[in-house]
């Protein structure tokens, strides 16, 4: 194409550039301000450059247990990531065939994506409250002392909290798997089967390598969506707290750049994960181009 | 595994189905049920009463044309919805058009689309907080305005205002428009555009009569996403509105914090119904146009 660029191109290119500044500018501002000197405030100018606010962060801000929240979020994020990958790949395989309830499951996933998170969060909280009452009533009815002495609630990070996150990450995972399997050529599997591969071998050595980049994508969504999740978690975490919930609470109380330091740390984790996944996908694709098909290259 | 077995899809879909049942379908059912329950300061008890609903709308009809709290809150939220929808649609459409029709190499398209998407994978709360040093009373923009002599005292409506909420909504949610519209546009046959041009259509005519109709599925999906996010929001409005602006989601959150669960549940049902009506209207709009 040697066609000359139109005026529209230049106008839209400028618009795109402005949008990118709009998108990244504010975040860059707080990355810079988190290195504010000890005398510095929430806004410019910078009064020196230091790691003061990061040190402050690790000493703890007031009574808030930031280390605990960080650890909770990391554990939950990794768990959500693994479960999302496994369940999405399994469901993606299931949807390649007809089964009773397939349409219902698909629309439930879509609904879970677009029903307001506050509603889902409230529902999960109520569900667990009622279940708690049930357990207590059960303990009373059968005089089970263990329940009287030890039971408080079923709600927690890895029960209601995990469920709330999965209801948010699974739809993304399923949609990505749909996109992959819609373009998947079954001839590869047939070839493997004809050569005597068991179903598991076919999956492990043929299907899995082909869908690997998409799996990396699902993992990326699984971890980052959980790591940043707040709307669904707010009512569903019980006594536990995650990093975004802590951060939101801090916005109303903390008036020092320590909150920016926490923002920088959180964003750094996100970017590490995004970078790692993009690197893996690029590597797989390069490798594929190098070692891939020899079709059309002659004998 | 038995690939010929008819049971295979069932156990493969089972984990996802179980999670959606336990953490989506049942919770929604529980909300509907609890919205008819009684409550006091300490507990909720099963019942079948409508007072939670009548409480929400008490006096709403009598007071008209003055708006009761509930109507005012819904109106406020719907106004945000309309504004955010219009802004994200125009911006998202323009950016998707640029990526699909003006950027020439596929690699560049992917890279630029990724640049738009990456912030989606970072924390929303941080992306909101990051406006503070720019919009605050002593923020960069006010410093600039003062230095230029545009005003002699800091502009107050930049932060913790309708404006800052709107700005944050557009900042956070434009990606939901860009990606679906981009997806629809990428499937448009280029020869249709050439045909329109050869037939003598102007740029705007091509846009209005060819591009927009063919991008409709993407526009609909993006719109559904943006509208549902804004309708149920309480975090963006809370943080960027300085906890001073009401929204439907915020009402539910506050009632939950006061343990008024049945009331919160009734509000959630009303919100859900409103969102459903909006979505149905939107899909109807798209389908009808397709029929014509």
pLDDT tens sequence across B167-220: 999 999 999 999 999 989 988 888 998 899 888 888 888 888 889 989 988 999
From B24, B95, B139, residue closest to A19, measured CB to CB: B95
Q: Give contacts of B123 with chain A, Cβ < 8 Å.
A: 227-228, 244, 247, 263, 266-267, 270
The pLDDT of residue A296 is: 57
From B94, B121, B256, residue closest to A224, measured CB to CB: B121
The pLDDT of residue A1 is: 46
- Domains in chain B and their CATH numbers? 68-291 (1.10.3720.10)
d(CA A194, CA A188): 10
Q: Give contacts of A207 with chain B, Cβ < 8 Å.
A: none
Cβ distance of B13 and A170 shorter than 8 Å? no
Q: Please check whether residue A164 touches B, CB under 8 A.
A: yes
Q: Which residues of A205-231 are buried (b: 16+ CB within 10 A; e: fewer)?
A: ebbeeebebbbbbbbbbbbbbbbbbbb
Q: Residue B256 pLDDT more than 70?
A: yes
The pLDDT of residue A7 is: 85
From B12, B123, B228, residue closest to A266, measured CB to CB: B123
Tokens, residue A282: 């690029």
pLDDT tens sequence across B234-249: 999 999 998 888 899 9
Angle between helices B248-257 and B261-291 (to 10 degrees): 160
Q: Please check whether residue A134 touches B, CB under 8 A.
A: no
C-alpha dist (Å) from residue B200 to A6, A7, B102, B205, B214? 18, 19, 21, 9, 19
Cβ distance of B3 and A1 shorter than 8 Å? no
d(CA A28, CA B186): 32
Query: What average pLDDT does this structure show over B65-85?
Result: 90
Tokens, residue B186: 């990428």
The pLDDT of residue A3 is: 63
Q: Most B CBs within 10 Å: which of A2, A41, A126, as the mutation test of the B interface?
A: A126
The pLDDT of residue A40 is: 78
Query: Chain B: residue nearest A116 by CA?
Result: B232
N-term to C-term CA, chain B:
49
Task: Give how far A40 is from chain B: nearest CA, Å.
Answer: 12
Secondary structure element (H or E) that encloses residue A274, with its range: helix A258-291
Q: Please check whether residue A230 touches B, CB under 8 A.
A: yes
Q: Which CATH architecture has domain A64-290?
A: Orthogonal Bundle (1.10)
Q: Is the ipTM of this complex over 0.90?
A: no
Torsion angle of the four alpha carbons A28, A34, A35, A38, in this order, in degrees rounded to the nearest 10:
150
- Is A63 in contact with A51 (CB distance < 8 Å)? no
Cβ distance of B30 and A127 shorter than 8 Å? yes
Angle between helices A66-94 and A243-253 (to 10 degrees): 140
Q: Give contacts of B179 with chain A, Cβ < 8 Å.
A: none
The answer to whether the Cα torsion of A55, A59, A63, A65 is positive or negative is positive
The pLDDT of residue A294 is: 60
Name the region of A144 (left: φ>0; alpha: ψ -120 to 50; beta: rest): beta
Helix, strand and coil in chain A, % to nearest 5: 75, 0, 25
Task: Give how far A58 is from chain B: nearest CA, Å.
Answer: 18
If one counts every other C-beta atom within 10 angstroms of the C-beta of residue B151, the result is: 10
Task: Give how far A280 is from chain B: nearest CA, Å.
Answer: 15
Q: Give contacts of B24 with chain A, Cβ < 8 Å.
A: 108, 111-112, 115, 120, 123, 167
Work out how many CB contacts closer than 8 A connect A with B: 259
d(CA B128, CA A267): 13
The pLDDT of residue B292 is: 44
Task: Give how far A224 is from chain B: nearest CA, Å.
Answer: 5
The pLDDT of residue A251 is: 81
Task: Give how far A3 is from chain B: nearest CA, Å.
Answer: 11
Cβ distance of A23 and B116 shorter than 8 Å? yes
Residues 268 to 297 of A: which have CB under 8 A from any B CB?
270-271, 273-274, 278
Q: Give contacts of A99 with chain B, Cβ < 8 Å.
A: 9-10, 13
The pLDDT of residue A120 is: 95
Percent of chain B topping pLDDT 90: 46
Cβ distance of B115 and A20 shorter than 8 Å? yes
Domain ranges of chain A: 64-290
Q: Tokens 């939220």 belong to which residue? A: B77
Does the N-terminal peptide bond of residue B65 adopt cis geometry, omega within 30 degrees of 0?
Answer: yes
Cβ distance of A91 and B253 shorter than 8 Å? no
Instruction: Point out the residues of chain A with pLDDT beneath 70.
Output: 1-3, 61-63, 292-299
From A6, A29, A252, residue closest to B134, measured CB to CB: A29
């Amino acid at each position: 194409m040697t066609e000359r660029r139109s005026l529209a191109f230049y106008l839209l290119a400028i618009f795109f550039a402005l949008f990118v500044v709009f998108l990244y500018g504010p975040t860059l501002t707080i990355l810079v301000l988190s290195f504010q000197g000890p005398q510095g405030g929430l806004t410019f100018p910078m009064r020196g450059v230091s790691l003061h606010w990061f040190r402050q962060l690790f000493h703890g801000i007031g009574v808030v247990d930031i280390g605990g929240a960080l650890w909770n979020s990391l554990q939950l994020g990794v768990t959500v990531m693994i479960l999302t990958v496994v369940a999405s790949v399994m469901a993606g395989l299931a949807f390649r065939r007809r089964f009773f309830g397939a349409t219902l499951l698909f629309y439930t996933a879509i609904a879970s994506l677009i029903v307001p998170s506050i509603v889902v969060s409230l529902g999960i909280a109520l569900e667990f409250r009622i279940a708690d009452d049930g357990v207590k009533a059960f303990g009373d009815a059968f005089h089970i002392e263990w329940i009287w002495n030890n039971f408080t609630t079923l709600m927690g990070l890895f029960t209601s909290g995990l469920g709330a996150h999965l209801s948010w990450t699974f739809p993304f995972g399923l949609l990505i798997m749909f996109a992959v399997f819609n373009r998947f050529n079954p001839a590869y599997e047939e070839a493997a089967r004809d050569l005597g591969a068991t179903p598991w071998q076919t999956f492990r050595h043929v299907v899995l390598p082909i869908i690997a980049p998409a799996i990396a994508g699902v993992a990326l969504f699984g971890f980052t969506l959980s790591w940043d999740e707040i709307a669904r978690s707010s009512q569903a975490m019980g006594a536990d707290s995650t990093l975004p919930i802590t951060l939101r609470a801090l916005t109303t109380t903390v008036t020092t750049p320590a909150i920016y330091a926490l923002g920088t740390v959180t964003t750094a984790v996100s970017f590490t994960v995004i970078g790692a996944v993009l690197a893996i996908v690029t590597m797989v694709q390069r490798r594929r181009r190098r070692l891939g098909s020899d079709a059309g290259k002659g004998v | 595994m038995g690939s010929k077995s008819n049971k295979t899809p069932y156990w493969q879909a089972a984990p996802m189905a179980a999670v959606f049942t336990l953490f989506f379908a049942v919770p929604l059912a529980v909300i509907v049920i609890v919205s008819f329950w009684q409550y006091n300061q300490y507990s909720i008890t099963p019942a079948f009463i409508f007072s939670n609903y009548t409480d929400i709308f008490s006096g709403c009809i009598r007071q008209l044309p003055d708006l009761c709290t509930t109507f005012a809150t819904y109106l406020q939220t719907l106004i945000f919805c309309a504004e955010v929808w219009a802004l994200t649609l125009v911006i998202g459409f323009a950016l998707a058009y640029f990526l699909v029709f003006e950027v020439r190499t596929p690699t560049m398209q992917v890279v630029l689309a990724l640049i738009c998407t990456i912030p989606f994978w970072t924390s929303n709360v941080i992306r909101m907080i990051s406006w503070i040093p720019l919009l605050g009373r002593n923020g960069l923009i006010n410093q600039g305005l003062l230095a230029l002599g545009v005003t002699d005292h800091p502009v107050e409506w930049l932060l913790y205002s309708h404006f800052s909420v709107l700005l944050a909504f557009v900042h956070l949610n434009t990606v939901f428009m860009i990606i679906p519209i981009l997806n629809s546009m990428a499937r448009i046959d280029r020869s249709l555009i050439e045909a329109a041009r050869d037939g003598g259509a102007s740029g705007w005519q091509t846009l209005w009569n060819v591009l927009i109709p063919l991008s409709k599925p993407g526009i609909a999906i993006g719109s559904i996403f943006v509208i549902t996010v804004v309708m149920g929001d309480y975090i963006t409005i809370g943080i960027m509105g300085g906890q001073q602006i009401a929204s439907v989601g915020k009402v539910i959150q506050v009632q939950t914090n006061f343990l008024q669960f049945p009331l919160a549940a009734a509000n959630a049902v009303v919100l859900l119904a409103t969102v459903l009506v909006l979505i149905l209207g939107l899909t109807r709009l798209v389908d009808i146009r397709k029929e014509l």
